[in-house]
Amino acid sequence: MTPAIFGLSGLTLNPDERAFFRECDPAGYILFGRNIDTPAQVRALTNELRSIHGRDRLLVSIDQEGGRVARMRPPQFSAFPPGAAFDALYELAPSSAIAAAQMNAHAMGIELAEAGITVDYYPSLDVRQHGAHDVIGDRSFGFEPLRVAAIGRAVLDGLAAAGVAGCIKHMPGHGRTSVDTHKALPTVTATAEELEIDLAPFKALSHAPVGMTGHLVFPEWDAEWPATQSPTIIHEVIRGQIGFDGLLLTDDLDMEALSGSVPERAERAIAAGCDLALNCWAKMEDMVGIVERLPAMSAQTAARLARALENTGLAPEGDKAQLLAQRDELLAFAETAA
């Protein structure tokens, strides 16, 4: 199996993709808006991916956070609020915010599971910082690490209740970024003491099944390589200080924060200690190059992948409409108070 997650070009697989995926056997796939039309179409697409590999527990992933990061959108799919909505409610009623976040994620998970999606790149555990770039912004659950962890835990629990694995991101913390990593590489000059704030939510939820790195340089730990490609940060900080032993993915390797060709970026990330390379844009030349450069999946990564998918692909339980109604009732309290 190739230790990579690949994107798809459209609403259905084309013949080249079908043959390539069958031959290289990637660890999984990621869906974007270009792959999504109706619930039935998405389910047919994910079913076809499973048929290629002959395994029901296949990593089929998506970025579905709510707010501005949502690949499945109305009117065909439900609307979900950004993280800041739960932060605002937590300010007034912490237990209600946790309940609302859990209900929201459970309803989201039901919708994802019905479409055949098994992994959601959510929750973002990045602690928000005043003056930072807005690439995280309202995606965050707030400025206080314990609050971020509490809401993040509710999200993981809600997704799990629907048979979907959540993913904590972006380790070791993206909240201090000065630039958008889609466009440039940020350097975070915080001290070790300050960075403890960023690490705290990840430490609290280090049991999560899946985690994602961030493309940021932290001179306190490694002045040369961004976290995604830094052996020091991956082994000493993410695996060590945070204590994360789940399936570790890179953030999208196409982001301009990284240098070199996309296959070179993937090779460096896997060599540094990431389990899987995430390549989103379905460019056949890049995908072929990644397969040529990467080693076969290690036994350790295969075990982490199996653990991450262990409770996925089950028939989702719960009433989505009821969950969304209860969520909205709780969130309305914060809106009324404001």
DSSP code string of 142-167? -SSHHHHHHHHHHHHHHHHHTT-EEE
Please give the positions annotated as active site: 182, 251
Residues linked to residue 277 through DSSP beta bridges, in sequence order: 4
Closest alpha carbon to 5 in 65, 60, 54: 60
Where are any strands of DSSP class E within the chain? Answer: 2-7, 26-31, 59-62, 64-66, 69-70, 119-120, 165-171, 210-213, 247-249, 277-279
User: Helices marked H in 248-319 — which ranges?
Assistant: 262-272, 284-293, 299-308
Instruction: Please report the sign of the dihedral spanned by the C-alpha atoms of residue 229, residue 231, residue 236, residue 240.
Output: positive
Say if strands 119-120 and 59-62 run parallel, antiparallel, or are unpaired: parallel
